[in-house]
Structure 1
Amino acid sequence: MSKQPPIFLINLDQSADRLEKSANRLAEQNITFERISGVYGKSLPDNEINKHYNSQLNRQRFYRELGKGEIGCYFSHRKAWQTIIDRKLDYAIVLEDDFRVVGNLHNVFETLASLKFEWQLIKLAAYENRERPIEFKHALNDEFDLVVHKKAMTGCCAQAITYEGAKALLKATDQFGRPVDTDIQHIWETSVPVYSMMPYYIEQDLEFDSDIAAATGKTKVKKRFWQRKKLQLCEKIQNKKYTQKVIDDLKKAL
């Protein structure tokens, strides 16, 4: 059995119940983890928010303002990426605390350890367990396929990130205006290819209420309709071009 990689669990200080449930779920498979104290967006002062959240970028690149919960979530993931860099880790798995385990994670660890090409980010779960059309698939073993979706999956419930991936993501998102999972989809901006290892052995536990929504509040967010349509068209063109490049590069590496 392969040695498990470092596992970081993002968890808000207010969410002791989530921490307990997450710990129990991992303990069932004798998996250890380290907690990363999540950033509670609602308590962030504006001067802290403005260090990385750029309202001008938001107006240019997204169709609505981000809530403080989304900003806190982004800061939490940047904190996890920075930890990977500070400790010079080959890679780590970053979990949000609304996951559940649906397969043997030691098999996931063993497959990740066996990869012979340079990767930066591999999704291990999907937002709300949704499906998305697959553009390319390569069998890694009898259990898992390496998958490139037509568009990278949303959600950051569970993903494996290398040192180089964390470094590239931090650099590309020093100033951000979109949610963290949306920025990760923009592979032409981050230069971080996004793969999935499927079937997913981690799922999002949909019984949990969203911490992001709780930190954002119930204020109705105004959406910029035409801005969204324009962005979707431009992003579709870029996504198709760069997803094909990811596939071409991957075929050469494999």
Structure 2
Amino acid sequence: MSVLSTVVISLEPQSPTVISLVNALSALGFKAEVFSAIDGRSAMPDLRDAESVDQKMSVLRRRSELTTSEVGCFLSHARVIQQAFDNGVDKLLILEDDVEILAGFAEVVDAIVTLPSEVEMVRLMGLKRRRRKTIATLAGSWQLVRPLRGWCGAQAYVMNRPAMAKFLRQYQTISMPVDGFYDCFWETDIRAYGVEPHVAAERKHVSSIAKPWGTMAPSRMTEIRWHMFKLYRGVLMRYYRLANYSDFYPNVLPDPSIKFPRSNPD
């Protein structure tokens, strides 16, 4: 059984950017496989027998349908996770090709591999500032934290077999982007953590994943249903946090010196 498998997801596996990332990982001791991403840029990707896309639920969740590129991105992560699980991988490091490796990457990932099994997923970067509880020191000044809400982003993370199993049991009906799936920990029960300061960052680039916001004008009924469903999900999230109180409390916002690509603490 492999302890740690490293995979870079890319729509352009032979691009200079991907080669540079793979070489940077190799220099740190990580042998990375490049996975050709599922291309949803121009049409809905092919789905396997058990898979489906629930656009009605997507509209209920966020007042917009999933784009084909968002579905392709979700399926790319799902295929990598399925492959790793089938191959008996114990810990899986997934990187998207728009990632830049930062100081401390190797030390932090090495420390994550040794964490107990209840730490199921660790994001190496996040896109939003959230209140969080500091759990432990990983290496040097890097801390393992448990965010009160989702960090947003699936560009770089490590997950273990229990997290892979939970993902594979629940992902088949796709109604949100893959990072949203990870953010809904109270629905998936994937125990998601993060690293501060981050050891990966998103490079400035033009994303290949089309965003639906602003392209659809929700009806009044859609708005009402969205608000009701948001309230319902909020109740579930708060119940989950209270049921797992010691995992999330006490918590504070990150120190201002810890940089996030987005700074909205909502």
Q: How many equivalent residue pairs?
A: 243
Report the equivalent of 1:23.
22
The 2-side partners of 1:149 and 1:194 are apart by 8
The sequence identity of aligned pairs, in percent, is 20
The 2-side partners of 1:8 and 1:14 are apart by 11
Structure whose residues are more often helix by fraction: 1
Matches within 5 A, 1:32-181: 32-45=31-44, 48=47, 51-127=51-127, 130-134=128-132, 136-141=133-138, 142-181=140-179
The 2-side partners of 1:227 and 1:179 are apart by 20
Q: CA, structure 1 residues 218+182, in 2 after alignment: closer, same or farther (shift >3 Å)?
A: closer
> Following TM superposition, by how much is the alpha carbon of 1:60 offset from its aligned partner in structure 2, in angstroms?
3.8
TM-score, normalising length: structure 2:
0.80
Q: CA, structure 1 residues 113+43, in 2 after alignment: closer, same or farther (shift >3 Å)?
A: same
Q: Residue type of the partner of 2:216?
A: V
TM-score, normalising length: structure 1:
0.83
Q: CA, structure 1 residues 202+12, in 2 after alignment: closer, same or farther (shift >3 Å)?
A: same
Q: CA, structure 1 residues 116+188, in 2 after alignment: closer, same or farther (shift >3 Å)?
A: closer
State whether residues 121 and 162 of structure 1, in contact with CA within 8 Å, keep that contact through their aligned partners in structure 2: yes
> Following TM superposition, by how much is the alpha carbon of 1:160 offset from its aligned partner in structure 2, in angstroms?
0.5
Q: Residue type of the partner of 1:182?
A: G
SS in 1 for 2:165: helix
User: Which runs of 5 or more structure 1 residues have no equivalent in the other structure?
Assistant: none
SS in 2 for 1:140: strand
Pairwise CA RMSD: 2.9
The 1-side partners of 2:28 and 2:235 are apart by 43
> Following TM superposition, by how much is the alpha carbon of 1:106 offset from its aligned partner in structure 2, in angstroms?
1.8
Q: 1:211 aligns with which of 202, 208, 211?
A: 208
The CA deviation string for residues 115-162 of structure 1, in whole angstroms up to 9 with x for no partner, is 1342221111113xx32222x112234432221112021110111111
> Following TM superposition, by how much is the alpha carbon of 1:217 offset from its aligned partner in structure 2, in angstroms?
9.3
Report the equivalent of 2:8.
9
User: Which runs of 5 or more structure 2 residues have no equivalent in the other structure?
Assistant: 250-266
Report the equivalent of 1:234.
232
Q: 2:190 aligns with which of 192, 215, 220?
A: 192
SS in 2 for 1:100: strand
The 2-side partners of 1:108 and 1:173 are apart by 28
Q: CA, structure 1 residues 4+28, in 2 after alignment: closer, same or farther (shift >3 Å)?
A: farther
Q: Residue type of the partner of 1:236?
A: G
